[in-house]
Amino acid sequence: MNSPRSLSRREFVLSSAAALASTRLAFAAATAAEPIIDIHQHTNYGGKRDTFWKQISPARTDAELVAHQRAIGATRTILLPSGREVLRASTHDGRGNGLESTCTSNDACMAVAKQYPGEFAFGANEVSDLDEAPAVVEKYLKLGACIIAEQKFGVECDSAAMQKLYTLAAAYRVPILMHWQAGSYNYGFERFHRMLEKFPAVNFIGHAQTWWANIDRANIDNPKALYPKGAVTAGGLTDRYLRDYPNIFADLSAGSGENAFKRDPEHARGFFARHQDKLLFGSDCVDTTGAVADCSGARQLAQIRQFSPTKAIERKVLFENARKLFRF
């Protein structure tokens, strides 16, 4: 028997390139069949800060972010910037800078979106109660931002400053995504219906701990119950907002969204059925691999597929609702 012939360097390079091209084509075919829109990711996410709010450990790089999104199958991703770094009450004297992490601002998100057109889009953001916040946000809306987000600052949800941003959202026909966290960010969840009524042309997106705790009737605005466990009593404030107001949607991302459904799978299936036209997939995760064991975004994808009562509802949550909302 003849010994197998060794490949020349040229043959090896050509065969490797062909294999890579084949893999890319297979991925493109799969994602074209079932595209996914991820409405919630960040640049420079996951680093550590010291007590002076200086970054002291590395965050996820742009290259790792791109690889991660491709690994989870996201065919389009919206990058949500932080506001500028300032020491004031609305940032809790700096704790809230970088979205209480090391996330970077408008220019960084826009740069990645411009580098990967069609695969990434970007939002516009600024610290809500800065005098110049509306002008900064409007600058990036004019440059192509598709959302005002992520609004994660210690302000009243119905303050004059926030209402200026809602007015901008209406003028530019973009959603505004709000991080609800009792005691820390966006105060007055129980009063938010007034803003939903006052700004019917604005599409609001709810996110984070207080938003998801309040699917349960027992968890209204409770800063000590941000990740509640156990069976859900349907009909909480979040449930009612989604039922009663056509201009409010839900971002499923992060540990709060994951917890909301795994705590009560039976309730999750009913919730997906009731609000199938209002739910949006987001990852908001900091890992680099996209492996289910390490990545809340990958786990949320698995939950959506598990708890969607039908394939049609799954496709709404993973793609169609966001496509309509963002007019992609």
DSSP β-bridge partners for residue 205:
177, 249
Whether the Cβ atoms of residue 241 and residue 212 lie closer than 8 Å to each other: no
Which of 315 and 33 is assigned the larger pLDDT? Answer: 315
Which residue has 């909302």 as its token pair?
325
Whether the Cβ atoms of residue 150 and residue 186 lie closer than 8 Å to each other: no
pTM of the model: 0.89
Q: For a pLDDT cut of 70, what percent of the chain falls above it?
A: 88
Look up residue 186 and give its DSSP letter.
Answer: S
Phi, psi of 117 (to 5 degrees): -65, 140
pLDDT of residue 293: 85
pLDDT of residue 19: 44
Mean pLDDT of all residues belonging to the chain: 90
Angle at 71 between CA 66 and CA 73, to 5 degrees: 100
Whether the Cβ atoms of residue 292 and residue 299 lie closer than 8 Å to each other: yes
Tell me the per-residue pLDDT of 164-175, one tens digit each, with 9 for 90 and over: 999 999 999 999
pLDDT for 52 beyond 80: no
**What is the pLDDT confidence band of residue 124, given thresholds at 50, 70 and 90?**
very high
DSSP β-bridge partners for residue 280:
251
Alpha helices, H only, the chain = 9-33, 62-71, 97-100, 106-115, 133-142, 160-172, 193-198, 209-213, 237-244, 254-262, 265-274, 296-307, 311-315, 321-326
Whether the Cβ atoms of residue 279 and residue 40 lie closer than 8 Å to each other: no
Q: Delineate the domains of the chain, giving CATH numbers in brackets.
A: 34-326 (3.20.20.140)
Tell me the per-residue pLDDT of 233-244, one tens digit each, with 9 for 90 and over: 999 999 999 999
Sheet holding 120-122, edge to edge: 37-41, 76-79, 120-122
Burial (CB < 10 A; 0-12, 13-18, 19+), residue 282, is buried
pLDDT of residue 9: 45
Phi, psi of 128 (to 5 degrees): -55, -40
Q: Is 112 left (phi over 0), alpha (psi -120 to 50) or beta?
A: alpha
